[in-house]
Amino acid sequence: MNTKTDFPETLIEAVRYFADPDNAFNFLVELRWPNGVKCPRCGSEDVRPIANRKTWDCKCCTEKKQFSIRVGTIFEDSPLPLDKWLCAIWMIVNAKNGVSSYEIYRAIGVTQKTAWFMLHRIRTAMQTGSFEKMKGEVEVDETFIGGLARNMHIDRNKRRGRGTGHVGKSIVVGLLERGGECSKVKAIHVPNRRRQVVEAKVRENVDQGSEVFSDALPSYNELTPDFRHQFIDHAEKYVEGNVHTNGLENFWSLLKRTLRGTYISVDPEHLFRYLDEQMFRFNNRKASDAVRFLMASASIVGKRLTYEQLTSDAAPA
């Protein structure tokens, strides 16, 4: 990356630019170590470059002295060239409705299984590590993720048990902070929508004294002492002045369009990763394609995800 004007602005420009291995390598080095290369294991600046291998040798480490640009990133232990990784990042962060592993494997020339693993590693980089507490006007709502009972196989329908159409579905609580140049959303996969769970998520993510708008779900009734809580009963109307949850309804529509139209079927254990993906694009929707790509690329460090971790049965806390 020589000058700002050299940097690609579109996907086709990114493919051409990163097809040069030196461009891909120099881009990541400059992005990761703008003030000089440091050992990712001990943090030492006393390193010696090994130019013919594009690696470095740390003089402080006693074991595993050599390291590459991939160490400690989502690329670690991946045999794929960097241009394929960077093009995959560009595609997923800028696809409004997401991009499937089948599309990635056809586009960059890898197997579908590899593309699926790549996308989950990239979603890890798209995670927002922490949010400041929301304040001002905040919408809170919940939605159900899952297929329609009438479309399920008879055996699966029996397993989900008796009850309404909500039975057997995953529940996601969303919070949206209005105002500013761009409203911000946070979506959390929760086990149920009882008061103890929903109220705890609101208190954890919203400053006391803020205005909180919700629907008529009784789980929000105890917010009143600490928050200026108002609700709208959707059985009667959807908007009354500034009391509504339409901002979150917009996010839910985008999320479900992605899950149903692009990914078709999402395992509940991986749902939080797809939420991270959709939140990243929604919260940075005003940015250009290149800026979103740079933001995701700058977050690849310290977020390694192994295939064993990804396919384990243990769901995240």
pLDDT exceeding 70 applies to what percent of the chain?
A: 89
Higher confidence at residue 305 or residue 166?
305
CATH class of residue range 137-266: alpha beta
Is the pLDDT at 160 greater than 70? The verdict is: no
Query: What pLDDT score does 224 carry?
Result: 87
Residue range 175-191: average pLDDT?
A: 93
Find where tokens 């049965």 sit: 313
pLDDT band at 162 (very low <50, low <70, confident <90, very high): low
pLDDT band at 131 (very low <50, low <70, confident <90, very high): low
The 10 Å Cβ neighbour count of residue 196 is 9
Is the pLDDT at 163 greater than 90? The verdict is: no
36-57 b/e with 16+ CB inside 10 Å = b?
A: ebbbbeeeeeebeeeeeeebbe
By 3-state DSSP, what share of the chain in percent is helix, strand and coil, each rounded to 5?
A: 45, 15, 40
Is the pLDDT at 4 greater than 80? The verdict is: no
Whether pTM > 0.85 for this model: the answer is yes
Is the pLDDT at 16 greater than 90? The verdict is: yes
Query: What pLDDT score does 231 carry?
Result: 94
Lowest mean pLDDT among 158-162, 194-198, 232-236, 313-317: 313-317
Is the pLDDT at 3 greater than 70? The verdict is: no
> pLDDT tens digit string along 29-73?
999 999 999 999 899 999 999 988 999 999 898 788 899 999 999
Residue range 73-101: average pLDDT?
A: 96
What mean pLDDT value characterizes the chain? Answer: 89
Domain boundaries, given as residue ranges, for the chain: 4-32+72-126+300-311, 137-266
Query: What pLDDT score does 168 carry?
Result: 73
Is the pLDDT at 164 greater than 70? The verdict is: no
Is the pLDDT at 264 greater than 70? The verdict is: yes
86: which residues sit within 8 A by CB, 6+ positions away?
A: 14, 18, 24, 27, 297
pLDDT band at 156 (very low <50, low <70, confident <90, very high): low
Residue range 183-204: average pLDDT?
A: 94
What's the rounded Cα separation, in Å, for the pair 277 and 103?
Answer: 17
Query: What pLDDT score does 317 carry?
Result: 41
Report whether 298 contacts 126 (CB < 8 A): no
> pLDDT tens digit string along 90-100?
999 999 999 99
Find where tokens 């507490």 sit: 133
Query: What pLDDT score does 2 carry?
Result: 44
